[in-house]
Amino acid sequence: MFAERLGYIVWFSDFKAARGLDKYGSLHYLSRKMNYAVLYMNADSAEEALRHLQKLPYVRKIERSYRGEIKTEYEKNVPDKTRFYSL
C-alpha cells in the first residue's frame, strides 16, 4: 500500500542551497544552526538520489537515519514505586 521510505541526514555547508534538497525527496527538517537536513525518500529511488546528492558541492556528508528500525514499543517490567513515596 505505502512505499517503503528511508531517512537520511544530509550535512551541508550552505543553507540557501540546501533548501533545494526537496527535489530529491521529502525535506522534513532543516537546521540553520547545525547545518543538517532530514530528508525522506522512497527506498527504490534512494540509491540514485544519493549519488546525485554526493555530487552537490555544498553537501559534506550523508548519514542513514535508523529511526525506523528502533523499537518504539516499551514494556514496563519495573514495579511502580510511587506508593512508597506517598504521604
Q: What was the pLDDT predicted at 53?
A: 95
Residue 63 vs residues 11, 70, 81, 82: alpha-carbon distances, Å: 8, 16, 41, 42
Q: What was the pLDDT predicted at 80?
A: 74
Q: Regarding the domain delimited by 5-67, which CATH topology (the fold level of the hierarchy) does it fall under?
A: Alpha-Beta Plaits (3.30.70)
Q: Which residues of the chain have pLDDT under 70?
A: 86-87
Q: What was the pLDDT predicted at 47?
A: 94
C-alpha cell at 53: 546528492
Q: Per DSSP, what are the bridge partners of residue 47?
A: none
